[in-house]
Amino acid sequence: MLEADRYLLDQIRAGSADGWSQLVERYQGRLLAFARGKLPRSADAEDLVQDTFVSFLTGLARFREDASLETYLFTILRRKIISWFRGKQTTICLLQDALPAADREAGSGGADALPAAEPTASWYARRDEQDELHRAALSRAMRTIIDDYKRKLDFRHLQIVEMIFYCQLRNKDIARLAGVSENHVALCKHRCLNEIRTLLATDLGGGATLPGRMDGETGRQGDGGTRRQGDEDFRCEEIPLNDALLSRIWQEERISCLKRSTIGAYLLETLEEGWRDYVKFHLDQLGCAYCRANLADLQEQTRTQPVRAFRDRILQSTVGFLSRK
């Protein structure tokens, strides 16, 4: 969690109205941009964002702070939007709107798996402890892999893996979009799953046996994970690792989403070529709704801030004359 967010949270928990107003000011723009992208009427978008802040405050005691404030607020809002559409699934990227999803287990996909009724009684707040450990380990493994791609500037594979898990597209469509063969897509997926397995085995300690349905595309069975040789206390843990779960974590935790500062740098055209192309892909082609909401908010700020700053400057320089009779 950002230092600034933690400070604001402490203020709000201590009952500071000023802290609360700062938090609203900081997040309202991106939340509104997100809601406007999903709802036909702007007034409804505003209502849901307002509801989101109310839910945030009333559920504050249950917020465990293992997500960023932004992701937590987006999650509450997204659930409200799904509820507004009476439980109908909403997509989180443009590619999902344009292309059919890969086959997935019924009812276990991303948005449709979110319970719509109680927005703040989310997985952040209530989850089985064991389930929570597995989930956190999966999340760490995926983040490690994504960070690795970014560090190596391997945006090509990052894009493919994003399209597989974040967007849940079919291999056929991913191959066409990325300009590679379907086999290559299947191989990328296979490698990524293997890496997750290896990382999980190390992370959870003692190795992990993963269920067979590892790679639906190639029909290959999971190879049972990595085991520590000679470990007497080897624990055989059943980790429900499948495409739907990985996609769900990826979407809910926004594993590969861009930092706001990166989107800002993209707007200012200060990114290096590789990064610039990748950011453009995430925003425009993949069309991540969360990052597009941040982009819209930043664009809006650059439009209005000079005006506001100019106004403030005028006010400051003129206020003295007001009081002089």
Among 164, 167, 210, 257, binds Zn ion (CB under 5 A): 257
Nearer Cβ to Zn ion (124/281): 281
217 to 256: interface string for Zn ion, x by CB under 5 A: ----------------------------------------
Strand-pair partners of 238: 209
Kindly give, in sequence order, each residue whose CB lies less than 8 Å from that of residue 259, ignoring residues fewer than 6 positions away.
none
Compose the 287-306 pattern: x for residues touching Zn ion by CB under 5 A, - for all others: -x-xx---------------
| Residue number, 157 or 190, with CB nearest to Zn ion | 157
Q: Which is nearer to Zn ion, 53 or 290 (CB)?
A: 290
Q: How far is the CB of 272 from Zn ion (least distance, A)?
A: 19
Q: Is 160 in the site for Zn ion (CB under 5 A)?
A: no
- Least Å distance, CB 164 to Zn ion, is 15
Residue nearer to Zn ion on the CB measure, 36 or 134: 36
How far from 219 is each of 150, 187, 216, 320, CA to CA, in Å? 29, 12, 5, 76
Which residue in 78, 79, 98 sits closest to 37, CA to CA? 78
238: helix, strand or coil: strand
* Least distance between Zn ion and beta carbon 94 (Å): 11
Give 174 or 210: the residue with its C-beta nearer to Zn ion.
Answer: 174
Nearest residue (beta carbon) to Zn ion: 288
Task: For residue 34, count CB atoms less than 10 angstroms from its CB and return exposed for 0-12, middle for 13-18, buried for 19 or more.
Answer: buried
Helices 3-13 and 69-84: crossing angle, nearest 10°?
Answer: 70
Radius of gyration, CA atoms only, the chain: 22
Residues 6+ apart with CB under 8 A from 230: none
- Size of interface with Zn ion, in residues (CB under 5 A): 4
Question: Which position has the token pair 């900081």?
Answer: 26
Name residues contacting Zn ion, limited to 261-290 (CB under 5 A): 288, 290
Instruction: Pick the closer one to Zn ion by CB: 242 or 251.
Output: 251
Coil, helix or strand at residue 38:
helix
Q: Measured from the CB of residue 288, what is the shortest distance to Zn ion in angstroms?
A: 3
**Cα gap 297→309, rounded to integer Å:** 17
Cβ 256 to Zn ion, closest distance in Å? Answer: 7
- Helix, strand and coil percent figures for the chain, each rounded to 5: 65, 0, 35
Nearer CB in complex with Zn ion: 95/244: 95
Give me the residues that bind Zn ion (CB under 5 A), please: 257, 288, 290-291
